[in-house]
Amino acid sequence: MKIITCASYGASGSSALTDLVAEYSNVQRMTDSEFRFLHDPDGISDLEFQLVECHNRHNAGRALKRFWRQAQFYGGNRIHRRYEKFFDGKYLELTKQYVDDLTDFVCTGWWDFDLFDKGDKRNFYIYRKRLEDRILRAIPFTHRRVLDREIMYFSHPSEEQFLNATRKYVHTLLEAANLDGKEYIEVDQIIASQNIDRYLRYFSDPIEVFVIDRDPRDIYLLEKIYYPIKYGSFNNDSVEVFCKKFRYIRESGDPRKSLSRHIHFLQFEDFLFDYEKVVGEVEEATGLKAENHVDKFKYLNPMHSINNVQTWLEQPDLAKDIGYIEKELSEYLYPFEKHSKEKIVGITVTDKQKF
C-alpha cells in the first residue's frame, strides 16, 4: 500500500492535488475529512516528546491520557461518528491497542493534573474537589478519595520502541480504511506542512507528500471575502497581519530545507495553467499510471478552477491592500503575466461559483 498526502498552509489550494489523485482508479480516497492525529496538539508527535524525548513520570502518563481523550473526540459518537466511519469502525479499537502497546504498567492513583483535566479553566473544580478530598479523609473509618477510581499510566519507551509501535498503528489504521485493497490510499493532511521529516518517521508504508502553495493575493481575498461568507468570521484583522501570518507559517519548520526525496512542492496555479506538466510530475513522483487516470477532469477541472485565480481584480476597492501584499510578499507572487487563460484545458462550465 502506497500513501499519497498533501500538506497545505491554509487556503493554499491543496484540494487541487487531492482532487487530481482521486481521479485514478487504483486510489482509495480519504479526502472527505482531515486526518491530523499525527501533528495536532496531544497527537502522536506530542506523545513522542513526552514519552521519549523529554520524559517525566507524571507528564508521560498525562500525555497518554490526553492522547486517548483526543482519540475519543476524533472517533465521534453514535450521532456523529467522525473517524470511525473512515476506518471501518475500528479507529478507537486500534487506538486503544496502540495506547496499551506504549504503556509499561498502570496503577490506581491521581495527581493535580488529573483534577485539572476534569475541571474548567477557572479551576473551581480543582478547589472544590480538593476540599471534598480533605473532608473524606477527615471522616473516621473511611478510605474513599475523590478520584479513587482514577488510573495512572507509566510509559518510557525507547525511540525505536515508540516508532515501531507508531508505524504498526498507522499501518493498521490505513489498512482498515483501504477496504477495497487498492494499491494507493490518499489521506488528506495526515502530515503538516512544517517539520515534515519528523512525521515521515511514523510510516512503514511508502509515502509521498505534496506541499501546495498559492499566490498570497488570492489567499487574502479568500480569507477576507469568500471564507466569511461560507464559514462565518475568519482570522484576518488587517492586510499587515495577513502578511506577517503568511510569512510566519512558511518560514516555521520550512520543509524546503529537507533533503527527503519524498517531499514535493507544487503551485496551485500550475494545476490550471500547466496541467499536463503537473500531472506528469505527480505520476512520476508517486508511480501512478496514465492508464489509471479514468476520471480525468471529474474532480479537478481547470476550466472551473480558473475562476479562483486573480480574484483581486474583481475587488478594486482592495487595490491598496493588494499593493501592500505585492510589496511585502513579492517572492511569493505567481507570474500570471506569463500565462494565458485561453489555453486552459478541461471541461467547459457555465458555473462561475468560486472556491
DSSP string, 84-144: GGTTTT-HHHHHHHHHHHH--EEEE---HHHHHHHS-TT-HHHHHHHHHHHHHHHSTT---
β-bridge pairing 207-213 and 184-188: unpaired
Report the share of the chain in percent with pLDDT over 70.
Answer: 86
pLDDT tens digits, residue range 7-56?
989 889 999 999 999 999 999 999 888 999 999 999 999 999 999 999 99
Cα 186 from Cα 198, distance rounded (Å): 20
Which residues does 53 contact at the CB level (< 8 Å), separation at least 6? Answer: none
Evaluate whether 17 touches 220 at the Cβ level (below 8 Å). no
pLDDT at 152 over 60: yes
Cα 247 from Cα 229, distance rounded (Å): 25
pLDDT tens digits, residue range 131-147?
666 665 666 655 555 56
Cα 102 from Cα 99, distance rounded (Å): 5
Higher pLDDT, 64 or 79: 64
pLDDT at 203 over 90: yes
Reduced to 3 states (helix: H, G, I; strand: E, B; else coil), residue 209 is strand
pLDDT at 285 over 70: yes
Considering only 152-161, 328-337, 338-347, which range has the smallest mean pLDDT?
A: 338-347
pTM over 0.85? The answer is: yes
